[in-house]
Amino acid sequence: MKYCNQTYRFRYNDTYLFFGNGVLREKLGEYVKNHRKALLITSKSAAKVSGALDTVVEALKRENIEYLIYDGVKANPYTSMADEAGRIAVENKVDLVIAIGGGSVIDTAKFASIIATTGFKAVEILTNPSLSSNVTRLPLIAVNLTHGTGSEIDRYAVLTIDGTIEKRGV
């Protein structure tokens, strides 16, 4: 099988999307280098099995950046997962969030990056979407392992409200 050795960059508003063979290893360092501590948000196994977690950790170590891992995200994530990730970010004074996974992981990380800077709970953001407008958030890097949701490039996120089966997005 022949692989393409080209990497590509696409810009959508203030988001940059890089893709191609080896792009994570080649580009991540330049985007993390001005940070001191990162929270890696993943599911239990996809980031490990894919090798992406190891690649991200290698880049962080090269740049002398501390990191923690929150691997509690499950499919169709609940508000409590985002709240927990946000709490971990605050308690550990992280200044960067890196999501490694599919749409559920990336959506959780988007919420966590806002929760960490505002103190809001995820359910508050979901039930009052104006809270997520014009707020500060931690910088977020998304390493997408699946294709289809577009979560890695858009500004939208969906969670399920704990205790219900109600999925909401902002």
DSSP character string of 104-152: HHHHHHHHHHHHHHH---HHHHHHSGGGGTT-----EEEEE-S-SS-TT
Q: What is the pTM of this model?
A: 0.91
**Residue 128 domain-assigned (yes or no):** yes
**Residue 31 domain-assigned (yes or no):** yes
Pair of tokens at residue 16 = 């940059």
**Residue 8 domain-assigned (yes or no):** no
**Residue 7 domain-assigned (yes or no):** no
Number of structural domains, the chain?
1
| Per-residue pLDDT in tens (0 to 9) along the chain, 170 residues | 455 677 777 777 767 777 777 778 888 888 899 999 999 999 999 999 999 999 999 999 999 999 999 999 999 999 999 999 999 999 999 999 999 999 999 999 999 999 999 999 999 999 997 887 778 899 999 998 887 667 777 788 999 999 998 999 88
> Looking at residue 165, which CATH number applies to its domain?
3.40.50.1970
Q: Return the pLDDT at 49.
A: 94
57-76: b (≥16 Cβ within 10 Å) or e: bebbeebebebebbbbbeee
Q: Return the pLDDT at 81.
A: 98
* Residue span of the structural domain in which 157 resides: 13-169
**Residue 3 domain-assigned (yes or no):** no
